[in-house]
Chain A
Amino acid sequence: MACQGLAKGETTNTLKAESESLKAKLEEERAKLHDVELHQVAEKIDALGQFVMKTRRTLKGHGNKVLCMDWCRDKRRIVSSSQDGKVIVWDAYTTNKEHAVTMPCTWVMACAYAPSGCAVACGGLDNKCSVYPLSLDKNENLAAKKKSVAMHTNYLSSCSFTNSDMQILTSSGDGTCALWDVESGQLLQSFHGHSADVLSLDLAPSETGNTFVSGGCDKKANVWDMRSGQNVQSFETHESDINNVKYYPSGDAFATGSDDATCRLYDLRADREVAIYSKDSIIFGASSVDFSLSGRLLFAGYNDYTINVWDVLKGTRVAILFGHENRVSTVRVSPDGTAFCSGSWDNTLRIWA
């Protein structure tokens, strides 16, 4: 924490001035190529008709706030984690609980389903990410086979398997993201660049599969190269913490949900923010966002207990979904796009279709 790193003759003032001027130039360059707004391009498209979505399943069983959830690739199973330390695997279609694990810590803020469907990863205030292989033997204690993979110096905010069960990407309150080898627990790559807690990450659905985006309390969304650990792009237009980041299905853009009550869309090729989804009547922060399969709809869960559905192209809100009795903490669309699941501080999860 002591002051280090200034060369002779350099003051923090000259550094700051140089940084500010570069930032201004960058904004100028970005603005040069901005020849049209998204809603203008979207004028020629038909508006969406009446939008009806209802709660089709309600999953009750958590004893406390639901903090995170993830879908299995089989399109019907989910894993959810909660403040009371419980991680539950459900068959959301039948609403049956299939597995339950009790974590040694409370506030399990992150959970993820492995691509094979054979394991789940979770973590939170224990600063770790652990992988639990799912056993079908009723008598087996899942906690016995637990594998401790990631270790951070602050809480785990988000985790995700990469293309296989063998690697996990994590983000943490210590301001870093990291890539881990599951089998050995080895740190494969770490990503430094955020100046505050990192709250969320998402892997790019790209051909080469080498990048991911992260968002944090420093209001920045950073795009990273997984191979080199470099921060390749950075976006800073939000006015408060970024709670969630999600790629647009084509991988050319990503959306963010933030405490400043807006969701924004950033384009990677244009290198700028291209849309803001907000309304004067929405004053509570957005905790979680996800796209529908075609990318036309953006589902966003808010701290005012509602879920707003946005028309991504036109920038308008198409529906508000009521039902939860407390903050919506997580929103995820199913792998085949047939439904989405929302988890809330009211201890329940809902499937909407």
Chain B
Amino acid sequence: MTINTLSQDGVQRQQMPCLTKMERMIISMQDPDMGIKLRNQRLLITVIPHKCSISDEEALHVGQLFVKYGYIYPLKEPRNLILKADDSSYRFQTPYYWMSTRWPASELDYAIYLAKKNIRKQGELIEYEKECYNALHKRINHTWDFVVMQAREQLRASKQRRKGDRIVLECQEQAYWLVNRPPVSPEHYKLTTLTKNTIIEHNRISLARNRVKSSICLESYVKYCEQYQPHDPIMQGCLPSNPWITDDIMFWNMNSETVALPTKLRVERWSFSFMELLNDQMGRKEFLTYLEKEFSAENLCFWQACEDVRHGETAKIPEKVDEVYKQFLAPGASRWVNIDSKTMEKTLEGLKRPHRFVLDDAQMHIYFLMKKDSYPRYLKSELYKNLLARAIVPQETKKSVFPFMRRQRHSSPSPALATQTAEDDGKAKYSNSNSGTASRL
């Protein structure tokens, strides 16, 4: 469900607010003093988008929308509803035909229009118009006499007008119908605008995809749910208690980032996957300590630096990438990381024109290196096992039976307090091996 209710039809789903905004612009564009310069050259007017106080590109884009919605229509190629930034001529559409007026573009009106065209220029209807004409003829056959009669009347009335006016009115009407009765049905329209290069190509690629058997995929959910069930407070509760139920925030305090001794469940969770370890700040610190012992801490630091590039400010990318190169990739760098030669070559090549993803391949390589090698060894290490043994299993606190003994709900410091200094680095703050070793008791 969207704000755009009403029918499934392409046009009617449009937002009304955008139409009023467009119309306001159109009106100001036609202001005799401040607006677009109009030339009366055989009743032709040229539009100069540059008059607007916005960039050329934006002006062109806004102009395109005006043409597509029928507020301006081209004169040379009426069927081609685009705005060209050259000398081609355009004219403003009369407010009577504006989309917001919602002049009901009914089948009957369209039939009358086509009938008029047919009478005027015998056999000059275009392919799709002929189709529509025949379809309408079948559908509203019962009122066809009325249609033809109306068409003849309108033609007769228009003959009484000045030639200039008649031409303009004809153009306006034609432009209106070109916008509101595009030459294909909505279904086909979707097919051609997302052209064959998109849908069919997409389907071909999908066909070639490697799929995994359902049984394997579904088993993995069962395993995942089983593994995480003890960690799911809604499923199995949490110790000491769920803060929302007992009004006791011990659970949050015991699991905060800076706690001295973590809970057993938390340390266990690091063994589920490498991502779990890295996602927990404490886990990351522990892992860094371990890597330092193994003299491979630069891997984690490199990975963190790459994350910072990928998710950081666009403006700072070149300088950050340069830093990374100096520290980790340059020959003889203080914290040189061991990447295979092919990846290194490709990365160094890409560094000539640094962009957000230039370090992706190298980062991936180091990530999988840690995942396959250092991570499993960490889980078997004394450091980890020790921590697991010392980790706390909290005592359960029950919800107070007496309602009047409900605990007071304490507020906590807002995270917005903490970080004015860290604004540059966004969220990714990586620890330097000189500072912050993990707390070991």
The interface of chain A, by Cβ under 8 A from chain B, is: 1-6, 10, 12, 15-16, 18-19, 22-23, 25-26, 29-30, 33-38, 41-42, 45, 48, 53, 56-57, 72-77, 91, 93-94, 96, 98, 107, 109, 115-118, 125, 133-136, 153-155, 157, 162-167, 173, 181-184, 186, 188, 193, 195-197, 199, 205, 207-208, 217, 227, 231, 233-234, 241, 243, 248-250, 252-253, 259, 267, 269-272, 274, 285, 287, 292-297, 303, 312-313, 333, 336-340, 351, 353
Contacts and interface: CB of A to CB of B under 8 A. Distances in A.
Contacts of B310: 163
B427 A91 contact: no
Contacts of A22: 200, 203-204, 207
B1 A241 contact: yes
A72 B415 CA distance: 9
Given A2-B79, A15-B196, A234-B206, A248 B221 contact: yes
28 contacts: A1-B182, A1-B189, A15-B196, A33-B212, A37-B214, A41-B218, A77-B414, A77-B415, A96-B411, A117-B416, A154-B15, A155-B15, A163-B310, A183-B315, A195-B194, A234-B202, A248-B221, A250-B224, A252-B220, A267-B217, A293-B232, A293-B234, A294-B224, A294-B231, A313-B221, A313-B222, A336-B255, A337-B232
B54 interface: no
Contacts of A249: 224, 228
A89 to B, nearest CB: 9
Contacts of A1: 10, 68, 81, 179, 182, 189
B313 interface: yes
Interface string B214-246: 111111111011111101111100100011110
B178 interface: yes
A12 B199 CA distance: 13
Given A271-B211, A338-B251, A166 B313 contact: yes
A167 B311 contact: yes
Given A33-B214, A173-B15, A252-B220, A338 B244 contact: yes
Contacts of B364: 208
The 3 closest A-B pairs by CB, nearest first: A117-B415, A294-B228, A294-B232
A50 to B, nearest CB: 13
Interface in B1-20: 1-4, 10, 13, 15, 17-18
A42 B232 contact: no
A125 B3 contact: yes
Nearest to A194: B194
A30 B207 CA distance: 9
A48 B235 CA distance: 9
A270 B192 contact: no
Given A48-B235, A294-B231, A297-B235, 8 more contacts: A3-B128, A25-B207, A41-B218, A72-B415, A109-B3, A164-B428, A183-B315, A293-B234
Contacts of B412: 74, 76, 91, 93
Contacts of B422: 116
Nearest to A222: B202
B98 interface: no
Given A6-B192, A292-B232, A93 B200 contact: no
Contact of B3 (A30, A107, A208, A297): A107
Nearest to A14: B196
Contacts of B81: 1-2
B409 A295 contact: no
A57 B414 CA distance: 19
B29 to A, nearest CB: 19
B405 interface: no
B146 interface: no
Nearest to B213: A33
Nearest to B426: A164
Contact of B206 (A57, A271, A295): A271
A338 B233 contact: yes
B426 A165 contact: yes
A270 B211 contact: yes
Interface of B: 1-4, 10, 13, 15, 17-18, 65, 68, 79-81, 128, 178-179, 182-184, 188-196, 198-200, 202-204, 206-207, 209, 211-222, 224-229, 231-235, 238, 242-245, 249, 251-252, 255, 274-275, 307, 310-315, 356-357, 360, 364, 367, 409-412, 414-419, 422-423, 426-428
Contacts of B206: 26, 233-234, 271
A351 B244 contact: yes
A182 B367 CA distance: 27
Nearest to A180: B314
Contacts of B313: 166, 181-184
Of the listed residues B10, B207, B251, B422, the one surrounded by the most CB atoms of chain A closer than 10 A to its CB is B207
A166 B195 CA distance: 34
Contacts of A208: 364
Identify whether the interface residues of B are mostly helix, strand, loop, or mixed: helix
A338 B184 CA distance: 53
Given A22-B203, A29-B207, A115-B427, A181 B314 contact: yes
Contacts of B196: 5, 10, 15, 18-19
A2 B183 contact: yes
A297 B224 CA distance: 12
B371 to A, nearest CB: 8
B427 A165 contact: yes
Given A18-B200, A26-B207, A337-B231, A3 B192 contact: yes
Contacts of A296: 225, 228-229, 232, 235
Nearest to A36: B215
A336 B199 CA distance: 40
A182 to B, nearest CB: 8
Contact of A155 (B3, B80, B232): B3
A259 B193 contact: no
B222 A42 contact: yes
Nearest to A352: B244
Contacts of B1: 241, 243, 259, 285, 287, 303
B311 A163 contact: yes
A162 B311 contact: yes
A3 B127 CA distance: 12
Contact of A3 (B184, B275, B315, B428): B184
Nearest to A270: B217
Greatest chain A CB density within 10 A among B1, B188, B231 is at B1
A72 B202 CA distance: 37
Contacts of A295: 221, 224-225, 228
Contacts of B274: 207
Contacts of A234: 202, 206
A19 B207 CA distance: 12
Nearest to B367: A207
A26 B208 CA distance: 9
A62 B200 CA distance: 47
A227 B226 CA distance: 34
A66 to B, nearest CB: 16
B244 A164 contact: no
Nearest to B255: A336
A336 B215 CA distance: 30
